[in-house]
């Protein structure tokens, strides 16, 4: 029995931002962002009952929570002091609750009755930041400006030239734990400033809170046009605009809004305002936030001395009415069955397949528990928890399973240290089995789902034979992935085993790593062997040849060479005659020579191939360059039909357009045939071992799969360059949509190629530039880039010929390059090092990092345990062998059974190795 947990959450505010939306502010002049566009989404604000924040205790409404349970490190735990305890295990649970609260905005007169005071607050926990600016009377559209200095509260930070960020301060707490955060801004009457604009940012999550998907706008003059995002009294309802004391409580409602607006209290009213343009008001708006709560489920087993039965005790600190849905099994098949009576109180049968027991509240009032008696004939206890009609809590998509000891079993577990949350190993075998499971559980589940899918579809006969074949191919790919994991994993042995081998003088045979076509062995370290200026000498191949031995000594296993073909541009990315390999980097013979030299040094070689576009040699009858020459003398049928500049007669493009050259139509059979022959010729004639694929956003990944299957490369990586998500010029914390698009492309190739992890590079930028290292952990505690989802296909990098060098399109934060390399060279994925960084003052540090990676056998599927992801420090342990930290904050590896020694320390980074 497997129950999934699915919770639907409806956000109340638009957390994203769109450049196209007219209400969004921009600076004067418009600020320049990195080469990534802002994302947008649309959410609906629900209508909730309003309440007076000032005079009643703020209450939180908790929505249906969602849960995720995580495995403990071992299946068997330590012995209790009491000898009758045979087993004890605790399952930590990452529980997320959606909490409702309020944002409030209040405009009052100041103490001297001549000035005004704007207060913005929130009653939910968090690190709240007010991102704000002002509009002037003569401004057009949604432009912001920085306010005058006398308006800026202490502790504020200027954001470029258009905004201010001011932290909200804790001002009040109730006995129930509700906390009010607020900030006050002094306003002086001015005929120049027309409005104060703001959004609220939660620094804990990186979420932005807006008003109906737009900026909050507080008008300061009557002449401001009415708008949906204006906060304050609506003029059409204001009966006495200059006599605020006559109205005590007005609730204004209009179509599409649920704002609660009331007049200011009597203390801030006057019979006549000096500035008749302003009116006091108070507005409340609903807000929701996901709050993480740490809970756990503990299961312990004792042996009853009188009946010899197993007494199972289950307890949890989750509050509320919880239903235990449970059963037992007799063997490893784990088939559910109902045990004989007696059963705990409040137990009912469920379809003769399971039992349901209401957990009893504990005497302490926090959480609930139950005790169950089970016979020795059963081998395991199975359960899930039902929290309500739509929410079930299970273990990583499967039933919770607890092994039951038999009468002949020795004590198999003992108590964990609850105060420290540390769980120690009992046997090496249990740890090894769990590590293998952690590698493969996801793949096995995928295969199960696919097998179930094709089986059910065959029975219904609703799917075509072709569709079933696609599913079978996907199963084959996943099975190959699982096989590769087993073959490339490094076996571990207990000290006793090693001693036995040494005593017997047994020599273990060397087993070379398994090579998966297109993705290597998993231990690759890539060097980009050129920069944007390398072509200028005219003999780059010969210069690079002299560095082959040195690069091999550093530990590089693969080198990426520049585009080899005749090209309109000297850098090689505007190819013309594909079979002409005399380029600005060197001649055909020099290319073969440098490839041979790297092979002699033990380094594989990637060719940089441009398949998306090709420059024509001749014009058509309309004077358009779309007729090709050379050995591949294609006509305009090879150009996509929807390329607006080159009048192609092919089919529509399967990707994005590259506007500088004709985009090739890969759906044409003759094009694919010619390109496969050309790539095979490069493999055989030049000796390339694999490919770096340029601008793969321009055509479908399925065509890439076709080319790679024909050429069987050792390694292949695609450049899928896509825009990260930004809000108000600042990178969003959640970049799942960005990395999903890269994953989708890899999936389209059926996993035959990896992709550059642009997501990780972008997030490293945000973390290092503003000292926000919390960005380096996603909401599930994993690395937030592609390497957190599909590490074996993630090629990580911090710089290349486009982003760095003399182009500098998206240069890595200056002076922090070694922090970037400390991250990618210790983490899973396949790291790529830029040529300019190798032969710089960082040479020794990079070489040491590579040595640490190779010495500890870190590979593309290594495991990452994130220890810290805070404002000023990120720290992680990789494969339990290497610990690292980046950032100015403090971190020391945990002391325990492992001893750690410092292996490398530099500016704001440090690496440790397990002794």
Instruction: Compute the average pLDDT of residues 396-401.
Output: 82
The pLDDT value given to residue 765: 95
- Going 720 to 726 to 731 to 735, the CA torsion angle's sign is negative
Confidence band of 522 (pLDDT split at 50, 70, 90): very high
The reported pTM is 0.55
Tell whether the model's pLDDT for residue 55 goes beyond 70: no
670 vs 45, higher pLDDT: 670
- β-sheet bridge partners, residue 183: 120
61 vs 709, higher pLDDT: 709
Tell whether the model's pLDDT for residue 52 goes beyond 80: no
Tell whether the model's pLDDT for residue 731 goes beyond 50: yes
299 vs 113, higher pLDDT: 299
Q: How many angstroms separate the CA atoms of 576 and 294, rounded? A: 60
pLDDT digits (tens, 9 = 90+) for 105-155: 999 887 777 788 999 999 888 889 999 999 888 776 667 888 998 899 998
pLDDT digits (tens, 9 = 90+) for 262-293: 444 434 434 334 444 577 888 888 888 877 77
Q: How many angstroms separate the CA atoms of 477 and 707, rounded? A: 17
Query: Cα 503 vs. chain centroid, distance in angstroms?
Result: 48
The pLDDT value given to residue 811: 93
Instruction: Compute the average pLDDT of residues 852-880.
Output: 95
Lowest mean pLDDT among 61-75, 660-674, 811-825, 897-911: 61-75
The pLDDT value given to residue 915: 81
- β-sheet bridge partners, residue 158: 164
The pLDDT value given to residue 472: 63
Pull the structure tokens for residue 467.
């569709």
Tell whether the model's pLDDT for residue 375 goes beyond 70: yes
Among the ranges 210-219, 341-350, 415-424, 670-679, which has the highest mean pLDDT value?
Answer: 670-679
Cα–Cα distances in Å, from 756 out to 345, 363, 547, 800, 867?
58, 55, 25, 11, 26
Instruction: Compute the average pLDDT of residues 329-339.
Output: 87
* Mean pLDDT, all residues of the chain: 77
The pLDDT value given to residue 471: 63
Q: How many angstroms separate the CA atoms of 654 and 657, rounded? A: 9
Rg (CA), the chain: 32
Confidence band of 519 (pLDDT split at 50, 70, 90): confident
The pLDDT value given to residue 605: 98
Confidence band of 243 (pLDDT split at 50, 70, 90): very low
Tell whether the model's pLDDT for residue 53 goes beyond 50: no
Give the residue among 756, 639, 758 at the shortest CA–CA distance from 693. Answer: 756
413 vs 786, higher pLDDT: 786
pLDDT digits (tens, 9 = 90+) for 777-787: 999 999 999 99
Tell whether the model's pLDDT for residue 331 goes beyond 60: yes
Q: How many angstroms separate the CA atoms of 153 and 131, rounded? A: 12
pLDDT digits (tens, 9 = 90+) for 742-752: 999 999 999 99
Residue 332 CB neighbour total at 10 angstroms: 9
Lowest mean pLDDT among 69-73, 165-169, 372-376, 814-818: 69-73
Query: Cα 273 vs. chain centroid, distance in angstroms?
Result: 52
Residue 739 CB neighbour total at 10 angstroms: 28
Q: Would you say 765 and 731 are in contact if contact means Cβ atoms under 8 Å apart?
A: yes
Exposure string of 367-404, with b = 16+ CB inside 10 Å and e = fewer, is bbbbebebebebbbbbbbbbbeeebbbbbeebbbebbb
Q: At residue 896, what are phi and psi to the nearest 5 degrees?
A: 175, -135
316 vs 511, higher pLDDT: 316
Tell whether the model's pLDDT for residue 211 goes beyond 70: yes
- The torsion region of residue 213 among left (phi > 0), alpha (psi -120 to 50) and beta comes to left
Tell whether the model's pLDDT for residue 349 goes beyond 70: yes
DSSP assignment of 251-270 equals ----TT---EEEPPPGGG--
Instruction: Compute the average pLDDT of residues 478-500.
Output: 45
Q: At residue 502, what are phi and psi to the nearest 5 degrees?
A: -65, -40
Tell whether the model's pLDDT for residue 6 goes beyond 60: no
Q: Would you say 630 and 579 are in contact if contact means Cβ atoms under 8 Å apart?
A: yes
Q: How many angstroms separate the CA atoms of 556 and 550, rounded? A: 9
- The torsion region of residue 429 among left (phi > 0), alpha (psi -120 to 50) and beta comes to alpha
The pLDDT value given to residue 867: 96
The pLDDT value given to residue 97: 73
Tell whether the model's pLDDT for residue 429 goes beyond 70: no
The pLDDT value given to residue 477: 56
The pLDDT value given to residue 121: 92
The pLDDT value given to residue 783: 97
Q: How many angstroms separate the CA atoms of 441 and 325, rounded? A: 24
Confidence band of 395 (pLDDT split at 50, 70, 90): confident
Instruction: Compute the average pLDDT of residues 472-485.
Output: 56
Instruction: Compute the average pLDDT of residues 456-481.
Output: 55
- Which strands sit side by side in the sheet containing 909-914, from one edge to the other? 864-869, 874-878, 882-886, 909-914, 900-906
- β-sheet bridge partners, residue 381: 328, 402
Instruction: Compute the average pLDDT of residues 638-658.
Output: 91
Confidence band of 659 (pLDDT split at 50, 70, 90): confident
Give the residue among 704, 818, 700 at the shortest CA–CA distance from 753. Answer: 704
E-strand stretches of 749-811: 754-756, 794-796
Residues recognised as catalytic: 694, 719
Q: Would you say 705 and 750 are in contact if contact means Cβ atoms under 8 Å apart?
A: yes
The pLDDT value given to residue 468: 62
Instruction: Compute the average pLDDT of residues 618-641.
Output: 94
Q: At residue 739, what are phi and psi to the nearest 5 degrees?
A: -70, -25
Residue 579 CB neighbour total at 10 angstroms: 14
The pLDDT value given to residue 815: 94
372 vs 71, higher pLDDT: 372
Confidence band of 175 (pLDDT split at 50, 70, 90): low
Confidence band of 161 (pLDDT split at 50, 70, 90): confident
Pull the structure tokens for residue 548.
């082959």
Q: Helix crossing, 817-824 with 843-855: angle to 10°?
A: 10
Whole-angstrom distance between the N-terminal and C-terminal Cα of the chain? 44
Any residues with CB less than 8 A from the CB of 120 and at least 6 apart, and which? 103, 104, 105, 130, 168, 182, 183, 185, 198, 200
Residue 523 CB neighbour total at 10 angstroms: 15
Tell whether the model's pLDDT for residue 446 goes beyond 80: no
Any residues with CB less than 8 A from the CB of 74 and at least 6 apart, and which? 423, 424, 425, 426, 430, 431, 434
The pLDDT value given to residue 212: 72
Tell whether the model's pLDDT for residue 849 goes beyond 90: yes
DSSP assignment of 855-891 equals HTT--TT--EEEEEE-SS-EEEEETTTEEEEESSS--
């Amino acid at each position: 029995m497997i129950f999934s947990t699915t919770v639907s959450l409806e956000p109340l505010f638009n957390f994203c931002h769109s450049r196209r939306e007219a209400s969004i502010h921009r600076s004067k002049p418009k600020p320049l962002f990195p080469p990534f566009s802002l994302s947008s989404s649309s959410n609906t604000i629900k209508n909730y009952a309003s309440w007076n924040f000032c005079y009643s205790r703020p209450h939180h409404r908790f929505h249906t929570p969602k849960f995720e349970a995580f495995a403990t490190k071992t299946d068997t735990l330590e012995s209790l002091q009491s000898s009758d305890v045979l087993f004890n295990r605790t399952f930590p649970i990452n529980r997320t609750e959606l909490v409702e609260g309020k944002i409030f905005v209040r405009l009052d007169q100041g103490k001297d009755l001549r000035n005004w005071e704007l207060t913005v607050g929130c009653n939910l926990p968090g690190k709240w930041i007010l991102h704000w600016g002002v509009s002037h009377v003569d401004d057009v559209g949604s432009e912001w400006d920085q306010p005058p200095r006398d308006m800026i509260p202490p502790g504020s930070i200027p954001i470029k030239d258009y905004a201010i960020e001011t932290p909200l301060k804790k001002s009040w707490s109730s006995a129930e734990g509700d906390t009010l955060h607020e900030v006050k801004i002094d306003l002086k009457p001015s005929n120049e400033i027309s409005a104060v604009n703001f959004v609220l940012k939660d620094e804990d999550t990186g979420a932005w809170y807006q008003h109906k998907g737009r900026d909050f706008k507080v008008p300061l003059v009557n002449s401001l046009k009415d708008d949906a995002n204006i906060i304050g009294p609506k003029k059409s309802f204001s009966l006495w605009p200059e006599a605020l004391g006559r109205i005590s409580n007005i609730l204004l409602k209009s179509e599409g809004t649920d704002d609660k607006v009331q007049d200011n209290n009597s203390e801030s009213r006057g019979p006549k305002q000096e500035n008749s343009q302003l009116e006091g008001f108070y507005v409340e708006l609903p807000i929701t936030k996901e709050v993480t709560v740490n809970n756990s489920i503990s299961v312990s087993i004792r042996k009853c001395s009188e009946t010899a039965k197993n007494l199972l005790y289950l307890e949890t600190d989750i509050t509320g009415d919880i239903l235990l849905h449970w059963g037992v099994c007799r063997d490893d098949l784990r088939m559910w069955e109902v045990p004989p009576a007696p059963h705990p109180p409040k137990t009912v049968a469920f379809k003769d397949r399971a039992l349901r027991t209401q957990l009893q509240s504990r005497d302490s009032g926090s959480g609930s528990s139950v005790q169950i008696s089970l016979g020795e004939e059963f081998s395991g206890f199975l359960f899930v928890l039902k929290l309500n009609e739509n929410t079930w809590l299970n273990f990583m998509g499967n039933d919770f399973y607890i092994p039951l000891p038999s009468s002949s079993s020795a004590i198999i577990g003992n108590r964990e240290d609850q105060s420290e949350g540390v769980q120690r190993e009992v046997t090496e075998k249990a740890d090894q089995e769990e590590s293998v499971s952690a590698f493969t559980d996801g793949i096995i589940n995928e295969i199960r789902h696919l097998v179930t899918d094709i089986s059910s579809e065959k029975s219904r006969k609703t799917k075509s034979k072709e569709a079933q074949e696609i599913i079978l191919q996907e199963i084959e790919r996943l099975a190959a992935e699982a096989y590769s994991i087993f073959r490339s994993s490094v076996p571990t042995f207990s000290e006793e085993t090693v001693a036995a081998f040494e005593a017997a003088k047994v020599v273990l045979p060397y087993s070379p790593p398994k090579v998966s076509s297109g993705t290597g062995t998993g231990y690759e370290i890539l060097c980009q062997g050129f920069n944007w200026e390398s072509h200028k000498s005219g003999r780059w191949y010969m210069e690079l040849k002299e560095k082959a031995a040195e690069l091999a000594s550093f530990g590089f296993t693969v080198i990426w060479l520049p585009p080899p073909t005749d090209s309109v541009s000297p850098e090689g990315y505007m190819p013309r005659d594909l079979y002409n390999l005399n380029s600005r980097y060197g001649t055909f013979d020099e290319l073969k020579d440098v490839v041979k030299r790297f092979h002699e040094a033990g380094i594989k070689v990637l060719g940089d191939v441009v398949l998306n576009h090709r420059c024509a040699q001749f014009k058509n009858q309309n004077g358009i360059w779309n007729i090709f020459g050379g050995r591949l003398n294609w006509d305009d049928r090879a150009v996509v039909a929807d390329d607006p500049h080159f009048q192609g007669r092919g089919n529509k493009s399967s990707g994005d357009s590259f506007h500088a050259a004709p985009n090739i139509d890969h759906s044409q059979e003759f094009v694919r045939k010619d390109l496969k022959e050309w790539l095979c010729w490069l493999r055989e004639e030049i000796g390339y071992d694999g490919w770096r694929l340029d601008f793969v956003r321009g055509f479908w990944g399925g065509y890439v799969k076709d080319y790679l299957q024909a050429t069987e490369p050792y390694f292949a990586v695609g450049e899928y360059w896509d825009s990260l998500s930004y809000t108000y010029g600042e990178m969003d914390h959640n970049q799942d949509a960005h990395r999903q698009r890269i994953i989708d492309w890899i999936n389209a190739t059926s996993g035959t190629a990896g992709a550059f992890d642009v997501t990780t590079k972008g997030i490293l930028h945000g973390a290092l530039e503003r000292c926000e290292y919390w960005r380096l952990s996603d909401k599930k505690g994993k690395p937030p880039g592609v390497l957190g989802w599909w590490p074996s296909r993630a090629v990580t990098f911090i710089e290349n010929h486009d982003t760095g060098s003399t182009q500098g399109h998206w240069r890595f934060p200056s002076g922090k390059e070694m922090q970037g390399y400390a991250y990618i060279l210790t983490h899973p994925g396949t790291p790529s090092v830029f040529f300019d960084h190798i032969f710089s003052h960082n040479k020794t540090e990079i070489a040491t990092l590579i040595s640490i990676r190779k010495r500890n056998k870190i590979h593309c599927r290594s495991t990452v345990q994130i220890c810290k992801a805070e404002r000023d420090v990120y720290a992680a342990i990789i494969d339990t062998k290497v610990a690292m930290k980046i950032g100015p904050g403090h971190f020391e590896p945990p002391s325990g059974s492992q001893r750690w020694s410092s292996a490398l320390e530099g500016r704001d980074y440090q690496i440790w190795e397990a002794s």
